[in-house]
């Protein structure tokens, strides 16, 4: 029988204290011990585990994916539907004018080379996608609707552009025919007062809508005639106007003021009423649905090229933009950056532009030459420098055929 330790009573051994351990954790391993994989309670004593009150991590991720996908889909849909109050100006076409011209009553010719008139593609009220594309494109410009139309309703704006195209063709025909020596007669119903400057010399004397028929007793039918007659006066001189108002002929006297450069002025805005030109030959220029006044110079040069036996382009493609008035003066236009890109893509060797827009054109020209022109004579000189035949000054009126 084994000996007991002194001072201790025999009896059952006290329960052995065990260190707490997480279920399923290996804890500290002793040599020869086995890992505890799980502890199963006796049947019927399984603990009740309350249900989870928060979604599992993969459930939250799935929900966020659904929400994010929905937002992206909505944004993509809106990007293609929502319209913005902007216009995008993009390069249009550079089209040869000569094939668009038909002349009756005078001989016409076809030459190698061509005068190209340039256009701008104008997209209004663009979508968000279109707006972003315009921002990223080096040849596109984004312009507000108001900057394009000036607040004019769309229908009216389109009608005004159609009329501007018609006027540019008329002015081009007049200038070209007169440059070649053909006689052109002009008729009109007088000079209409469009606006009277507030606190100007004519305030209280003339009104908008008055039609001036004579100045100092000399009949006038064109606004240029009236302006020239006023400029022959000195500031401070009295100027007598005969005009029609409400069907009644009246006379008034206006004291001319100084425009700041020593030239007489009367403080009114004028336009020729019912201006009409009578041409000895019939000219038709078919531009389809293109509108606006910016092809006036191109029409003038192309018509001259069509009616001149020698040809003006020297067999080259020359792009042209700019308005033309009845005196052969070239005016500025819009969208020159886009027109330059169109001319370059069409293979033009040079682009004739108004001086005000030479810098914008140069930035998009690449190797294409940019030539600024202020008048028809400037444009003819530029074509001659490019290898064209040039055009002699008109001498005697040319005959017409019937």
Would you call 130 helix, strand, or coil by DSSP? helix
Residue 375 within any structural domain of the chain: yes
pLDDT of residue 364 exceeding 80:
yes
Residue 76 within any structural domain of the chain: no
The domain that holds 190 is classified in CATH as: 2.30.42.10
pLDDT of residue 28 exceeding 60:
no
More confident residue, 12 or 195: 195
pLDDT (average), residues 198-209: 95
Residue 240 within any structural domain of the chain: yes
pLDDT (average), residues 332-349: 95
Q: Choose one of 228, 256, 276: the last residue of a domain.
A: 276
Residue 150 within any structural domain of the chain: no
**Percent of the chain at pLDDT exceeding 70:** 73
Residue 84's pLDDT band (cuts 50, 70, 90): low
Structure tokens at 371: 């030539």
Question: Do 366 and 353 belong together in one domain?
Answer: yes
Residue 55 within any structural domain of the chain: no
Structure tokens at 275: 């201006």
Residue 366 within any structural domain of the chain: yes
CA-closest candidate to residue 99, choices 122, 124, 117, 73: 117
pLDDT of residue 262 exceeding 60:
yes
Structure tokens at 45: 């004593």
Q: What is the pLDDT of residues 64-82, one digit of tens each?
A: 666 666 665 555 555 555 5
pLDDT at 198: 92
Alpha-carbon span 294 to 333, nearest angstrom: 6
pLDDT (average), residues 214-218: 96
Lowest mean pLDDT among 11-15, 28-32, 136-140, 223-227: 28-32
Question: Do 171 and 287 belong together in one domain?
Answer: yes
Alpha-carbon span 390 to 402, nearest angstrom: 28
Residue pointed to by tokens 């649905």: 289
Alpha helices in 110-205 (DSSP H): 128-136, 145-149, 154-179
Alpha-carbon span 266 to 258, nearest angstrom: 9
Structure tokens at 258: 């100084």
Question: Do 251 and 363 belong together in one domain?
Answer: no
Vertex 104, ends 100 and 108: CA angle to 5°?
65
What are the DSSP calls for 317-366, one per residue?
EEEE--EE-TTSBEE--S-HHHHHHHHHHTT-SEEEE-GGGHHHHHHT-T
Please name every residue paired with 277 in a beta bridge, in sequence order, or none if there are none: 186
Side-chain-side CA neighbours of 295 within 13 Å: the count stands at: 31
Question: Do 301 and 237 belong together in one domain?
Answer: no
Question: Do 196 and 257 belong together in one domain?
Answer: yes
pLDDT (average), residues 199-226: 94
pLDDT of residue 36 exceeding 60:
no
* Helical packing angle, 154-179 and 296-307, nearest 10°: 30
Count of domains in the chain?
A: 2
Lowest mean pLDDT among 64-68, 231-235, 352-356: 64-68
Q: What is the domain range of residue 228?
A: 186-276
pLDDT at 25: 43
pLDDT of residue 240 exceeding 80:
yes
pLDDT at 293: 92
pLDDT at 158: 85
Alpha-carbon span 280 to 123, nearest angstrom: 40
Q: What is the pLDDT of residues 291-332, one digit of tens each?
A: 899 999 999 999 999 999 889 999 999 999 999 999 999 999
The domain that holds 169 is classified in CATH as: 3.30.230
Question: Do 178 and 307 belong together in one domain?
Answer: yes
Q: Choose one of 218, 253, 276: the last residue of a domain.
A: 276
pLDDT at 34: 41
Residue 54's pLDDT band (cuts 50, 70, 90): low
Question: Do 311 and 233 belong together in one domain?
Answer: no
For the chain, give the mean pLDDT. 82
Question: Do 200 and 241 belong together in one domain?
Answer: yes
Question: Do 172 and 191 belong together in one domain?
Answer: no
Residue 33's pLDDT band (cuts 50, 70, 90): very low
Residue 147 within any structural domain of the chain: no
Question: Do 257 and 321 belong together in one domain?
Answer: no
Question: Do 288 and 267 belong together in one domain?
Answer: no
Report yes or no: 204 and 268 within 8 Å, Cβ to Cβ: no
Residue 111 within any structural domain of the chain: yes
pLDDT at 122: 75
pLDDT at 100: 95
Question: Do 168 and 314 belong together in one domain?
Answer: yes
Q: What is the DSSP letter of 8?
A: -
pLDDT of residue 131 exceeding 70:
no
pLDDT (average), residues 276-292: 93
């Amino acid at each position: 029988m084994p000996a007991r330790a002194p001072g201790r009573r025999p009896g059952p051994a006290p329960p052995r204290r065990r260190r707490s351990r997480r279920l399923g954790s290996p804890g500290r391993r002793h040599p020869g011990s086995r890992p505890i994989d799980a502890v199963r309670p006796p049947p019927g004593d399984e603990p009740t585990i309350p249900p989870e009150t928060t979604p599992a991590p993969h459930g939250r991720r799935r929900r966020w994916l659904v929400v994010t996908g929905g937002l992206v889909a909505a944004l993509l849909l809106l990007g293609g539907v929502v319209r913005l109050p902007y216009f995008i100006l993009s390069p249009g076409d550079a089209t040869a004018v000569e094939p668009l011209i038909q002349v009756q009553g005078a001989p016409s010719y076809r030459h190698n080379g061509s005068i190209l008139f340039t256009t701008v593609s104008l997209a209004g009220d663009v979508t968000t996608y279109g707006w972003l594309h315009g921002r990223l494109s080096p040849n596109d410009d984004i312009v507000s609707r108001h900057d394009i139309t000036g607040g004019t309703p769309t229908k009216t704006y389109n009608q005004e552009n159609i009329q501007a195209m018609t006027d540019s063709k008329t002015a081009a025909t007049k200038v070209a025919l007169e440059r070649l020596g053909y006689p052109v007669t002009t008729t009109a119903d007088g000079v209409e007062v469009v606006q009277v400057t507030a606190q100007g010399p004519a305030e209280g004397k003339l009104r908008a809508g008055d039609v001036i028929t004579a100045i100092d007793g000399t009949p006038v039918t064109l606004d240029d005639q009236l302006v020239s007659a006023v400029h022959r006066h000195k500031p401070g001189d009295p100027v007598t106007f005969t005009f029609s108002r409400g069907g009644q002929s009246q006379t008034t006297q206006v004291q001319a003021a100084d425009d700041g450069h020593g030239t007489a002025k009367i403080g009114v805005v004028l336009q020729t009423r019912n201006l009409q030109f009578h041409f000895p030959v019939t000219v038709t220029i078919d531009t389809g649905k293109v509108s606006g006044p910016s092809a006036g110079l191109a029409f003038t040069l192309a018509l001259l090229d069509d009616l001149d036996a020698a040809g003006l382009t020297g067999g080259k493609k020359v792009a042209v933009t700019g308005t033309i008035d009845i005196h052969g003066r070239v005016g500025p236009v819009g969208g020159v950056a886009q027109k330059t890109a169109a001319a370059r893509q069409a293979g033009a060797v040079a682009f004739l532009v108004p001086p005000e827009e030479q810098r914008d054109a140069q930035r998009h020209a690449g190797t294409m030459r940019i030539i600024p022109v202020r008048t028809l004579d400037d444009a003819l000189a530029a074509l001659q420098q490019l290898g064209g035949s040039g055009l002699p000054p008109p001498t005697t009126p040319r005959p017409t055929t019937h």
